[in-house]
Amino acid sequence: MTTTYLFHPDISTEAQATIVALLATALQSPAAELLADLRYQQQRQPVQAWLALADGNVVGCKLGYERQPGHYYSWLGGVHPDFRGQGVAAELMRRQHAWCQAQGYRAVRTHTYNRWRAMLLLNLRHGFDIIGTIQGPRGLTIVLEKELAAEL
């Protein structure tokens, strides 16, 4: 199986349903909540998407947006359970960070939960530091940040 990767600088209305369906499966979260969150974020600023496709189907995604000048927020991502363990999430992250660096961002921040240990470990393996925690609506949120200047 060959995986191809696509970049969308702003998620179209047509792509929303596909991305939300994938995230609902990958994150085991309600699709309606995810769609509402995506639409809310897109009203504030463009949300970029990196997509992984296998046989024309979206099997992974990484969404993000500018948090503040020079700082990017890696917001949501996931890989379909049938495609995990194949390096898809790592490649999506690599592509997102390379794009961020090319755009002049100095840091990438993300949040995760302890229940998504694979994502937490992936972030740590790729240079993120835990910089804090926040009590959120779904439990303790782990805040991570990565400086991009070190990759130059």
The pLDDT score that the predictor gives to residue 114 is 87
Q: In 3D, which of 93, 99, 100, 98 has the Cα closest to residue 78?
A: 93
pLDDT in tens, 86-95: 999 999 999 9
pLDDT in tens, 42-79: 999 999 999 999 999 999 999 999 999 999 999 999 99
Instruction: Over range 4-12, report the average pLDDT.
Output: 94
Q: What is the CA radius of gyration of the chain?
A: 15
140, with CB counted inside 10 A (0-12, 13-18, 19+), is exposed
Phi, psi dihedrals of residue 124, rounded to the nearest 5°: -65, -40
Q: How confident is the model at residue 149 (pLDDT cuts 50, 70, 90)?
A: confident
The pLDDT score that the predictor gives to residue 124 is 97
* Residue 152 pLDDT > 70: no
* pTM reported for the whole predicted model: 0.92
Q: In 3D, which of 71, 10, 17, 90 has the Cα closest to residue 44?
A: 10
Q: If one looks up domain 3-110 in CATH, what number appears?
A: 3.40.630.30
